[in-house]
Amino acid sequence: MATKSRTLPLNKRGMNFETLMWLFTRLSALAMYLFMLVAIIGALIMGARNQMNLTDVLRWAFTPNYTHVQSTNVPDLDPWATPFWKVVASLFVFTAAAHGLHGVLSVLDDYFAQLRVRLFFRILIAIILPIMWVIGIYVIWTS
Amino acid sequence: MARERNVGVIQGLRYRGGGPQTAWLLHRISGLGIVIFVTTHILASFLGGDLGQFINDVYESWWFQIFVIFCALFHGINGLRITILDLWPKLFEFDREAIWIEWAVFLPVFGLAVIVILNTALGG
């Protein structure tokens, strides 16, 4: 059965904020996969093969903050607490908070149809997101 | 954006969407689970004290670790499927096959993680 392409050409698509956020959700997911890959490769270089188990590596991968490997057999935490890892962890928190809170918004949109309520939730998320960014990155750099 | 809908809860529960619907539902639950976990986890580190310690104790229990690893792994793997199919829409024809592949990747990794968690928590 011959089917026509379901995708519209670029100039006929409505490019608005919601479309951009739809794209952001996909691209930030790929970005987080990249951060996790960097974290796993780094952990293996720093000795995870002998000193950590699968869940330790996953915990480190989901945010490379040195407190996440405190309970493992890693003998020296210094290489795990370098500014490089704090930058990667901060980028992860930055991306994840934006991805997650926008996800909450799309869940809420499914259950609240009135435009006013939707606007209220958008404002609420826009207030919560920077607070989460600040607190999350503060915790990474001061813990 | 569908702002008018006539579907009630009962009708919604009766809808049989198969694999894609299960994936959608678990994606939603695991996504909300991660948001709640990450928010309280960051707040626990930020606030410290008795409340922070209590939250951390909950997080270190084996059943909570299994829940979090389920959320993170499923959301990650299902999200990768959605991302790949959305960015290359021609592949959408193979949505159901992609979901089978997804389970084939998810179950072994999740199973191994559960074994490791239980081994550490209960076996010592």
pLDDT at A47 over 60: yes
Q: Sorting pLDDT into bands at 50, 70 and 90, what band is B109?
A: very high
Domains with residue ranges and CATH for chain B? 18-123 (1.20.1300)
CATH number of domain containing A101: 1.20.1300
Query: Is the Cβ pair A29, B79 closer than 8 Å?
Result: yes
Residues A143, A74: Cα–Cα separation, whole Å: 18
On whether residue A125 sits in a domain, the answer given is yes
Report how many domains make up chain A.
1
Work out the average pLDDT over A3-23. Answer: 75
Query: Is the Cβ pair A54, B4 closer than 8 Å?
Result: no
Closest residue of chain A to B43, computed from CA coordinates: A135
Identify the domain containing residue A53 by its residue range: 24-142
In angstroms, how far is CA B61 from the centroid of its own chain? 18
Q: How many residues does chain A have?
A: 143
- What are the C-alpha distances in Å from B98 to residues A28, B22, B79? 21, 13, 12
Instruction: Write down the residue that tokens 């499914």 correspond to.
Output: A110
Q: Closest approach of chain B CAs to the CA of A39, in angstroms? A: 15
Residues B43-64 have pLDDT tens digits of 888 888 888 888 888 888 889 9
pLDDT at A32 over 90: yes
Work out the average pLDDT over A32-61. Answer: 89
Put simply, whether the predicted model's pTM sits higher than 0.90 gets the answer: no
pLDDT at A4: 63
On whether residue A74 sits in a domain, the answer given is yes
- What are the C-alpha distances in Å from B86 to residues A31, A72, B80, B92? 16, 39, 10, 8
Residue B95, CB-side half-sphere exposure with 13 Å CA sphere: 16
Lookup: tokens for A120: 């209220």
pLDDT at B1: 45
Which has the higher per-residue pLDDT, A41 or A48? A41
Residues B89, B83: Cα–Cα separation, whole Å: 10
Q: Buried (b) or exposed (e) across B26-36, using 16+ Cβ within 10 A? A: bbeebbbbbbe
B87 interfaces chain A, CB cutoff of 8 Å: yes
On whether residue A16 sits in a domain, the answer given is no
pLDDT at B114 over 60: yes
ipTM: 0.84
On whether residue A12 sits in a domain, the answer given is no
Closest residue of chain B to A97, computed from CA coordinates: B35
Task: Please say whether the dihedral angle defined by the alpha carbons of residues B92, B98, B99 and B100, taken in this order, is positive or negative.
Answer: positive
On whether residue A65 sits in a domain, the answer given is yes
Task: Write down the mean pLDDT value for chain A.
Answer: 87
On whether residue A66 sits in a domain, the answer given is yes
On whether residue A17 sits in a domain, the answer given is no
pLDDT at B30: 94
Contact assessment for residue B96 and residue B19, using Cβ atoms and an 8 Å cutoff: yes
